[in-house]
Amino acid sequence: MKRPLVMVLLALAPLVLALVAAAGLLLGFPGILVRFSFAPAVLAVLVGVAVSALILGALMINRIAGKRRQEALEAGAAHAKAEHLAFLSRLDHEMKNPLTAIRAALAAHGTEDSTHLQVADAQAARLGSLVGDLRKLSDLQSRPLELEPVDLGQIVADSVQAVTAYLQQLGSTRTFGVHFPTVPWKIPPVQGDSDLLYLAVFNLLANAAKFTSDGDTVEVRAGEADGRVWLEVADTGLGIPAADLAQVWDELARATNARGIAGSGLGLPLVRIVVERHGGRVSLRSREGEGTAVRMELPIGRAPRPLPASA
């Protein structure tokens, strides 16, 4: 039984009891030794009505207050998201021109004869890449989705090929194991934006490759349960310290044991945004020195939730 119906029945209980008592008073049910007058029966009904009305009123007030609290929380979250997007946009605008000027000046001066200028040029390039990633993160939260049936198996195959080619350019290799069940049926397609889902899967694989070494293994597993398709990327790499797990989804957050590895700390937040835009959820398990497994879950056959009006 649904909770609102249970609450109404509980509120009406005093009235029901009063009606039963009034009937007993008027009709002389077994156990009633004296036939009472009409007035006490009416009084019993009025008391039952009053108590039930008080309980119903209290329940309605509590329900309205809860609804208003929820609306306030949602409005606050939407406002915070809008402010966050505005901040990313301002940051991009404020940093783009100075960075362009710095890099242009370094290029015009030349950095070949100065180690210090080479360091400055490298750091300017790194900062430019970070600003670009932040811009991409902002765009992901606001761009409309182009929905179509998406085969995650094909997305994974394309992503593995792209990451493998990139690693080969660096003279490095990884073993990628892909396990998609085909019996008793294949993984069903999901309704989503193929470009964004490719971006999320590619980032998971690139992250796994970044924090592993030659000889380590990266596995991609998939399955279907409770109306959702899940996709998990697991590796035998660096792992994340337990103290850092709470903030892995925060923008610019990096594990303490990854400070010497190039990166912006935006890969996992990007994955989270893409998956949540599709009405899904993400989770992560990791042990330092043993590896990490990141799982994304997407609903089957349902269109993603629309963006809030503030976004």
At 19-69, the pLDDT tens digits run 666 666 555 544 444 444 555 656 666 666 666 666 766 777 777 777 877
At 220-260, the pLDDT tens digits run 999 998 889 999 999 998 898 988 888 888 877 777 767 76
Sign of the C-alpha dihedral computed for residues 262, 265, 270 and 271 taken in this order: positive
Pair of tokens at residue 236:
């035998």
228-235 and 190-192 strand pairing: unpaired
At 89-104, the pLDDT tens digits run 666 656 666 767 777 7
Residue in the block written with tokens 């966050």: 84
Of residues 286, 177, 170, 168, the one with CA closest to residue 238:
286
Q: Helix, strand, or coil here: 259?
A: coil
Vertex 256, ends 242 and 258: CA angle to 5°? Answer: 110
- Report the distance separating Cα 98 and Cα 209, nearest Å: 33
R_g over Cα of the chain: 31
pLDDT for residue 130: 62
Which position has the higher pLDDT, 160 or 36?
Answer: 160
In sequence order, the 6+-apart residues with CB closer than 8 A to the CB of 194 are: 146, 148, 150, 155
What's the whole-number average pLDDT of the chain? 76
DSSP label of 261: S
CATH superfamily of 145-299: Histidine kinase-like ATPase, C-terminal domain (3.30.565.10)
8 Å CB contact between 201 and 231: yes
The dihedral over CA atoms of 108, 126, 135, 166, expressed in degrees to the nearest 10, equals 110
At 161-184, the pLDDT tens digits run 999 988 888 888 888 999 998 888
Residue in the block written with tokens 């089957």: 300
8 Å CB contact between 152 and 229: yes
User: What is the residue extent of each domain of the chain?
Assistant: 1-142, 145-299
Pair of tokens at residue 25:
């008073």
Phi, psi for 136 (deg, rounded to 5): -60, -40
Residue in the block written with tokens 């993984």: 187
Of residues 306, 250, 251, the one with CA closest to residue 278:
306
8 Å CB contact between 244 and 275: no
Of residues 93, 190, 82, the one with CA closest to residue 134:
93
What's the distance, CA 311 to chain centroid?
A: 16
